[in-house]
Structure 1
């Protein structure tokens, strides 16, 4: 259907009267929209608006439609956006499996069912058998994979990526790009990627929006 995916309808975000971002764009299921621009240009601010957690200091207009439904006035928890940041943000007091289980919707009942989902998700990102591990024992690449698995387990409607590859070395960066974009295509999730890196944009393979200017 034509309304599937994410539609940014005349979205405009301003701070102190200065427009940072003005965009209208549809992101199809499995497609990656890359947003590029210098620091302070409003890239992450756009993600916050889409995800429903924009700082009230910003003035925003326009609509966020997900699969044809208007979520502009809905809280973040209703939007079900999977979000990956520069840092994996794994909970230090939980095991790797506990971190993933945290993302599973409450509607999934039963320890066995939830554990099975965790095990399958870990296998899907190359971390089979690591559910009992302490996150502190994981490498940077493994932490990034665990964060991706947790995001996918939350049954997201879309993925928001805020430079999630920037702290990985070149080889890991390439591997994670391939993994994240492949998972998005398989799951039919529209993706918005914020990055400074032209290689990220090329790997994403979708449309590119340039925003802002230097402050």
Structure 2
């Protein structure tokens, strides 16, 4: 972290245009453990905003401004170097890997040795109430279990910020509330700034943080 810099995820005068047409303009700092929400209807540019933050913006779009993490400018860094985790509405678990294999995929390279990696995976499963599930086929899991595995795979990669792209939209009401609480509680405990995009006001209420509206 740059000495004296404000911690968290900062979008500094971030502006995105398409064919010269303004889409998104934001200037916000999300503090560690805080969850900010960007709301707006489909097609307004919410997922495009997250692509800009992760470094996966389509070349058809133009971006100005800066993305900083803990004071470090990551705007020009490749996606894998930014250490920004993202959860989508689909869990995107690898069907050819076991639950444990999916989690191990998220482990950073500095965690070496089979025993150390297995211990990290088992600890992650225990953290979300899935002890003993390492050998399971992801296809045998319930929707809530898949969501928890996807969350822990992302957290095992040791991100410094978390993005949520309509992450709860496919869950039924009861499960949605449970997984939302889990995600936001873990982010607070781990000190991760969270930026979620959604069209659902209950997601924004659950985040209990600043809300920004995008308009067509």
Structure 1 length as normaliser, TM-score? Answer: 0.97
Q: Deviations over 1:68-107 (max 9, x none)?
A: 0000111101101111000000000000000000000011
Q: Choose which of 139, 143, 146 in structure 1 pairs with 2:142.
A: 139
Is the aligned partner of 1:113 residue 2:116? Answer: yes
Q: Choose which of 36, 44, 56 in structure 1 pairs with 2:47.
A: 44
Could you tell me which residue of structure 2 aligns to residue 126 of structure 1? 129
Is the aligned partner of 1:177 residue 2:180? Answer: yes
Could you tell me which residue of structure 2 aligns to residue 79 of structure 1? 82
Counterpart secondary structure, 2:27:
strand
- Following superposition, the deviation at residue 2 of structure 1 comes to 5.1
Is the 8 Å Cα contact of residues 86 and 165 (structure 1) preserved in structure 2?
yes
Q: Deviations over 1:133-178 (max 9, x none)?
A: 0000001111000000000000001001001111111010000000
Q: Choose which of 180, 200, 203 in structure 2 pairs with 1:197.
A: 200
Could you tell me which residue of structure 1 aligns to residue 12 of structure 2? 9
- Following superposition, the deviation at residue 125 of structure 1 comes to 1.3
Could you tell me which residue of structure 1 aligns to residue 59 of structure 2? 56
Q: Deviations over 1:32-86 (max 9, x none)?
A: 1101001111101111111111111101000000000000111101101111000
Quick one: distance in 2 between partners of 1:121 and 1:155? Answer: 12
Counterpart secondary structure, 2:32:
coil
Is the 8 Å Cα contact of residues 103 and 151 (structure 1) preserved in structure 2?
yes
Quick one: distance in 2 between partners of 1:15 and 1:98? Answer: 39
- Following superposition, the deviation at residue 116 of structure 1 comes to 0.5
Quick one: distance in 2 between partners of 1:82 and 1:96? Answer: 19
Counterpart secondary structure, 2:67:
strand
Aligned length: 213
Unpaired runs of 5+ in structure 2? none
Unpaired runs of 5+ in structure 1? none
Could you tell me which residue of structure 2 aligns to residue 27 of structure 1? 30
Is the 8 Å Cα contact of residues 42 and 212 (structure 1) preserved in structure 2?
no
Counterpart secondary structure, 1:65:
strand
Counterpart secondary structure, 1:61:
strand
Quick one: distance in 1 between partners of 2:9 and 2:175? Answer: 29
